[in-house]
Amino acid sequence: MKIVLVAGARPNFVKITPLWSELQKRGLDCAIVHTGQHYDDKMSKTFFKDLQLPEPDIHLGVGSGSHAEQTGKIMIEFEKVCFRLKPDLVIVVGDVNSTAASALAAAKLCIPVAHVEAGLRSFDRSMPEEINRILTDHISDYLFTTCEDANKNLRQEGIPASKIFFVGNVMIDTLKQFFKLAEKSNILDELRLKKDGKLSKYAVLTLHRPSNVDQEEVLKGIFSALKRLSKRIPVIFPAHPRTLERLKSFALDSMVTYVEKLSDRDLKGSEKNVWMMSPLGYIEFLNLMSHASLVLTDSGGIQEETTILGIPCLTLRDNTERPVTVRDGTNMIVGNNPERILSASFDILENGLNGKRIPKFWDGKAADRIVEVLTAKLVT
C-alpha cells in the first residue's frame, strides 16, 4: 500500500510527525509531500530538523499568494504527484490551504482521503480555515477526530458514523515525544529569563490571524494592552512574518523591541518589555511555552498544547474551533478588546486558574490508533 502524507504549514509538520513514525514502525510505504505553503527556513526547514523528520520526498514549492492562487497551485501540482505515485491513500492534517487543496485533488481522482483533526468547527465562515475544514471533511473517506465535539459536528452535518473515528490528538503525541528534549533547550538562558538558577515570570505571545493583524486600529489596540501588561511581566513575542510586516507597515514597530538573543540585555532594565524575535523552532518554543506564566495567542494548536501543559491561555479571538480546551482545559476566549485582554491577564497572574482535566485520548497514542484503523481497513 502506497500512502502520501501531505504537509504545507508549520502546524502540519507537528501533526505529521507521529503519523510518519507510526507508519514507519509498521513497514508501510509512505511518502511525505511538502506543498511549500510555509517556505521560510524558520517556518519550515527548522521544524523538520527539530521534529527529526526526513527531507520531504517531494516539495511542490508553491510559495505565497492569495487563497485562490495558493489553493489552485497546490491542486495543480499535487494532481501531478498523484498521477506519478498512484497512492492508495492520501493523508491530510489540519485546516490550511494545503489540506483542502490536496484532499480535493485526490478525491477528484477517486483516491481515498483520510483527514486527521476532522470535525473541528468555529462556526465562523469568515475564517478561511473554517471553509477548508468543512470542504475537507465532506470529501474525505476517513475522519479522525480529537474530541467528542468534533464527532457531534460531523454527525450533524450528515456524515455517516462509519467514516468517523475518535482517536485523540496527534499534536499531543508530538508534544509528549519531544518534551524531555525541549527541557534541554537553553532558550530561557539566552533570553535572560533565568538568573542565579531562578526563573522569572513572563508571558508568551503569538499573533498572526488577519482579524488581528490586518487592521491598524485592532493591532494597535492589542499592542497597547501588551505594553501595559509588560510593565508587570515581560512579554516574549516570536513573530510570524505576516505580523512583523503589518507592524512595520502601520508604523507600530516602535511598540516592541526587536531582538534575536538577549546576551547583552536585561529584560527588567528596559522600558519596552515586549520583546519581538524571529519565529522559534519547535523545541525552543515548547520550552519557552511550558515555563510561561501566561500565553496569549490566536493559534488553534497552542490552545491544545497549553491545556496539556497546564499553562493559562488567553485566545485573542471571539470563537474557537476547540471548545474542549475551554471546557476541560486552560483556555479562555477574550477576543481582541484591549481592556478585556488586560483584565483577564491580570486576573490570571493574581489568582491563577482552577484545576482542569485532560481531554479524553489526549494521551500520546493518537497516531497509533489512526494507523491501526487504516491498517485494518486498507491492508489485505
Determine contact, residues 99/136, Cβ cutoff 8 Å.
yes
- Backbone phi, psi, residue 178, to 5°: -110, 5
- Report the chain's terminal Cα–Cα distance, integer Å: 9
Cα–Cα dist 133/136, whole Å: 5
CB neighbourhood size of 283 (10 A)? 21
Annotated catalytic residue 38 = no
Cell representation of residue 114: 483520510
Q: What is the 3-state secondary structure (H, E, C) of 312-365?
A: CEEECCCCCCCCHHHHCCCEEECCCCHHHHHHHHHHHHHHCCCCCCCCCCCCCC
**Grid cell of 173 as nine digits:** 503525541
Residues in the chain: 380
**All residues at 6 or more sequence positions from 204 whose CB lies less than 8 Å from its CB, including other chains:** 235, 236, 237, 238, 288, 289, 292, 294, 295, 296, 297
Give SS3 for 36.
coil
Ranges of H-type helices in 252-315: 282-290, 300-309
- The catalytic position among 38, 59, 67, 208 is 208
Nine-digit cell at 119? 470535525
Distance (Å, whole) CA 8 – CA 13? 8
Element (H, E) at 237: strand 235-238
What positions carry a catalytic annotation? 208
